[in-house]
């Protein structure tokens, strides 16, 4: 699993037994198991929701049209630069 052999796992279990004692060790193991089960459940829910979001529904368009933002509104409301205004005044109209 993490590159640990049987001997290393056995040493870890013996140290845990000595540190926590025989009364608390089953409780700690039970809580650890519940925590791991909850983590697995949450990760599978997340994986499922990502996979559902990645699938494109058939009735939906592939790409949405661009939405005008505040920068587009400012650019549309701004007057043209003076060079363009002067050029448009010099153009002769229909005679």
Which of the four pLDDT bands, split at 50, 70 and 90, describes residue 54?
confident
Can you spell out the DSSP letters for 59-86? Answer: TS-SSPPP---HHHHHHHHSPPPHHHHH
16 touches 9 (CB < 8 A): no
pLDDT of residue 42: 96
pLDDT digit string (tens) for 77-87? Answer: 666 666 655 55
More confident residue, 24 or 55: 24
- From the centroid of its chain, how far is CA 30? 31
Rounded Cα distance between 2 and 8, Å, is 11
Say yes or no to pLDDT of 16 above 80.
yes
pLDDT of residue 77: 63
In the chain, where the domains are located: 17-53
pLDDT of residue 44: 95
pLDDT of residue 48: 93
Q: Who's near 80: CB < 8 A, 6+ residues apart?
A: 88
Q: Dmax over Cα atoms in the chain, in whole Å?
A: 105
Strands (E), 1-95: none
Q: What is the mean pLDDT of residues 43-60?
A: 83
Say yes or no to pLDDT of 30 above 90.
yes
């Amino acid at each position: 699993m993490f590159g640990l052999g049987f001997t290393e796992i056995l040493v870890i279990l013996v140290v845990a037994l000595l540190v926590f004692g025989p009364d608390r060790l089953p409780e700690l193991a039970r809580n650890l198991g519940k925590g791991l089960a909850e983590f697995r459940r949450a990760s599978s829910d997340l994986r499922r929701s990502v996979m559902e979001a990645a699938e494109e529904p058939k009735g939906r368009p592939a790409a949405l049209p661009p939405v005008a933002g505040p920068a587009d509104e400012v650019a549309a409301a701004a007057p043209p630069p003076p060079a363009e205004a002067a050029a448009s005044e010099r153009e002769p109209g229909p005679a």
